[in-house]
Amino acid sequence: MAERVGFIQRLAAKATPSREQVLESRWLKPFGSRIRHSQFWRFSRRSVPRGVFAGLFVGIFLMVPGLQIVGAALMCVPLRGNIPVAAAMTFLSNPATTPFFVAMAILVGNRMGFHADLATFEALLQRGAGIGEWSRWLLSDAAPAMISGLFVIAAAVALVGWAMSIVVWRWRIGAKWRRRART
């Protein structure tokens, strides 16, 4: 089990941008003094779940790869979340998972009373439609359904991630205390 935890930590360290990389973003430069504060970079029992929440929410709701990390970092400021964790969590939505999230968002949006044609979405996906065709489809009735669905899915996944990170944090601390008590 310890080998698996070490592997996950190494993988997360490799995927997570460094503090300097995040701070060098041209979008975050105006907030430089505020986000340089150590509370946003410290791993604590409160900041890590908040970072998980911010990263999952922004990563799923804001499907623009370049802006996800910036959005998660900016969301961490009022939430007092961990910026590296938030940046790592944005990678849940990637080119492989994006079609799944969009299709589910359309289904959820349709259930909320909006109307988006899922058959047209599948046809556009199958034939590799260009940006113009996707834009026309999105600007039809699909946009409200997709945006509301993405919001609901992002909020639900972020809340589940937040709760799971609290449980995992407590489990890890309990395991450390049990190991310490045995020695």
Determine phi and psi for 165, rounding to 5 degrees: -65, -35
Q: How many CB atoms lie within 10 A of CB 64?
A: 8
What tokens does 63 get?
A: 């499907």
Phi, psi of 6 (to 5 degrees): -65, -40
- What was the pLDDT predicted at 34? 67
Q: If residue 63 lies in a helix (H) or strand (E), which one and from where to where? A: none
Q: How many angstroms from the chain centroid is the CA of residue 117?
A: 26
Number of structural domains found in the chain = 1
Q: Got the DSSP string for 3-48?
A: HHHHHHHHHHHHHSPPHHHHHT-TTTGGGHHHHTSGGGT---TTHH
Q: What is the pLDDT of residue 131?
A: 82
Contact call for residues 79 and 54 (beta carbons, < 8 A): yes
Q: What are the structure tokens assigned to 69, written together?
A: 């990390």
> Can you tell me whether residue 106 is helix, strand or coil?
helix
Q: Judge whether 50 and 102 are in contact, CB under 8 Å.
A: no
Asked if 63 contacts 98 with a C-beta cutoff of 8 angstroms, the reply is yes
The domain in which residue 93 lies consists of 2-182
Q: Which amino acid is at 120?
A: T
Per-residue pLDDT tens digits of the chain, which is 183 residues long: 555 556 766 766 676 667 677 677 776 677 666 666 667 778 888 999 999 999 999 999 998 877 898 899 889 989 989 988 998 899 888 888 888 898 899 889 889 888 877 777 778 888 888 888 878 877 777 788 888 999 999 999 999 999 999 999 999 989 989 999 987
State residue 96's pLDDT score.
87
